[in-house]
Structure formats: structure tokens, C-alpha cells
Amino acid sequence: MATLCKNCGHALVFDPGRQKLVCSACGSTFFAEEVESESKAYRQDLDAESINKINGTDDKDLMDCYVYTCSECGGEIIVNGTEASTTCVYCGNPNVVFSRIAKQKCPEFILPFRITKERAIGIVKEHVRSGFFIPRQIKNFPVECCRGIYLPYWVVNADFYDAVIIQGQVKQGKNYVTRYFGSAGSMKLKNLPLDASRALSDESSSRLEPFDLRDLKSFDEDYLAGFYSNVSDVTYSDVRKAALLRGEEYFNEQAMGQVDASSKKVIASRPSLKLDNDMVYVMLPAWFITLNYKGKHNTILVNGDTGKVVCALPWKKVLFFTLLILVGILITIAAFFVFRATLPIFFTGRRSSSSRKGEGKIFGLLIAGIIALFSTGIGKVIKVIKNIKLTQDKDMFNFMKKRQG
């Protein structure tokens, strides 16, 4: 299950920094194409044994997992139903479940990790330190867990078609009226990566993009050494549905951008998708970093190829709203004195009909500006809260935490 060093027989681990397999015992390095596990030939047809079978039970409450034997130390390795590579909890050596990538459709390509574990943690710390409203305890967070996981993706091409009706508000005189706009067209989706693991939400995986697919390598299980990985567990129908949803998202964004109105929303659509048959099965890298704050687990994702950080962390709500209110009050006071200095007649009561109209417009703009300021602040709060829920998602934490090692 492990690829061993040609020189000393110790297990090899892939080093993202050097883009080679490295032996920690003798320091030898190899390209993935230069080595192959000796145990692959006879282990790729070896089934993992169910823990129920080993215990002689039929307990449906037991976790869906299987038991493998580490080829390095003989210890038992627990893997779930979709893991393709893991680490031995006893000796720490990497192990690849060859039967998983042999009996299921083997990935065609893999994008090796380029960001090292140390660099991923450093990027996250830099990202966190720049947040003005992030609590100090988080800025100096100790890393609870950091694991590199290869995620399965299907890269697809498709033709997307849609016709939408958009509702919006348009100014007519002094009032706003509701108008309806139609938009129809098609678009090509090229090299669209779609998450092929049910254990991770599509929203989380899509935020990791983009990946530079030009650097894809022909799949070699040796790239998995030292990392965790999952195999695809989605159906063709799941892939098609995910492609349709992404197509709708892109199309609606383009269609809404062409409509000159406020409070826009799509109220009707008729999407359709023609998915090409040349889907490509690939594995893409991501670091999962977990920190604990006030009893809640926060999982930060880092693109293992580009270093892009995906997270939203707990923030100082009291400080944010206090500053928002103070800024609003200061702007209101400043605008009042400017208004008074530039239009003294407004405060003396000696105004003509035309001056009253001009003053009314200026006063209206002032009020509109204050409302826009608060609306923007509240909008950002709603977005942050939504992202925090994603970061604290239990399914994502469990997806990462189940990896032993």
C-alpha cells in the first residue's frame, strides 16, 4: 500500500515544494513516474474487510468503514467508503488503497499539491491578521488540525441554454415602477470542474476555484503518498444537475448585468443543458485547516495549487455595529453643517419656490446616502454570517476529521 524507497526501503512521501517523492530516512528523491509500489500488483484486487465482518456483527449503527493492514508496520488502518489514500495512525506512513482506484474508474489526471503544509498555514495566518474585526484569539490561533486532501472532480464541457424574465424597479418621474425584461441565449461551459464527492458541499468546493488545469499530470498513485484522498461517489445525474446549476448562475449574472434597473431578480426561467460525453475524472488538491473558537470548529480551505483562502471567521459584532453607527452619525452631522453653511436661507425661512425645490433634492440625496451606507453595512453582515455558517459546517468538519493520522 506504500511506495518504498529504492535505496533503503522506507516509505516515500510526495513533497509539494520539490514536486518529487522524498525519503525521510536517506534523503533520496524520485519523480512519481520513476517508482511504483511493489505491493500494487497483488493488492489492487484485495478487498477491504468490513468492520462488521471482522467483529462478526451486523450493527447498522456502526460507522461505514473498512479495515486495511498497513504494509509498513502491520497496524490496522480504518478507511471510509470513499477514501483512496490515508496515513497509518501508528507509524505515520502513507498508504494507498489500490483497490479503490483500480476497481472504480481510475482518475485520468491529477493536479499535484504545489502549496506545502507550512505555506498553507502561513497564508491563512497572513489572511487572518489583516481582518480588522477578527478577534485577537483567532489572529493568534493554534492550528488544531491541517490535512492535505485530494478532492475528486469531473471536468466537463456543456452547451447551456436559457430564457429568463427579470423583474426590476425603474424610475418614472418621482416614483419607481415595476418593469419586466426578457433575455434569452446560450453559452458554452468549457473545462468546468464539478465536485465529485457527496461529503463536501458544492458551494465549498466551487469557492476553491480556479485551479490551473494546464498543470494536470497523468494520474499516478504516487502523487497521493502523504496525503488523503477520496474517489468519486456521484452519479451522471448528479454531475448533470451540478453543471445545470452552475450554468444558471453564470447566465443569470450576465443577464442581470444587462438590465438597467434596481432591485432586480429572476422570476422565471427555462434552462436546459447538453452535456458532452467527454467528461474527465481528475483529482485536485486542497488543504483543510481547523481552528477552535469558543467551542466551535472553523474549517478553513486553502487551494493546494494557487494558495487561495476560502473562509469567513467569527468577528467582533459589537465593534462593527458601533463603528457603523458612529460613522453614520458623523456623516449626518458633517452634512448638516455643510448644508447650513452653503444654504443659510434654508434655516432662516426666507426661501423662494425654486430654492425650496433645490434644497429638497439636496436633503433627499443626503437621506438617501445615509440609507445606502447602512444598507451596504447590513448587506455585508448578511454575507459574512452566511459564509461563517459554511466555515462552521459540521459536515465539512467531519469530512476532514475522519481522516486518521
Instruction: Name which of 263, 262, 298 is nearest 396 in CA terms.
Output: 298
pLDDT at 210 over 70: yes
Count Cβ neighbours within 10 Å for each residue of 63-90 and write b for 16 or more, e otherwise: eebbebbbbbeeeebbbbebbbbbbbee
Q: What is the mean pLDDT of the chain?
A: 74
* pLDDT on residue 400: 63
DSSP 3-state of 182:
strand
* pLDDT on residue 62: 37
pLDDT at 313 over 70: no
pLDDT in tens, 345-361: 444 555 555 555 555 55
pTM recorded for the entire structure: 0.71
C-alpha cell at 337: 453643517
* Residues near 101 by beta carbon (within 8 Å), at least 6 away in sequence: 44, 84, 107, 221, 231
d(CA 285, CA 211): 9
Instruction: Name which of 284, 135, 301 is nearest 223 in CA terms.
Output: 284
Ramachandran angles phi, psi of 309, nearest 5°:
-100, 135
Ramachandran angles phi, psi of 125, nearest 5°:
-65, -40
pLDDT in tens, 127-149: 777 665 566 666 666 676 788 88
pLDDT at 110 over 60: yes
Is the CB of residue 283 less than 8 Å from the CB of residue 151?
yes
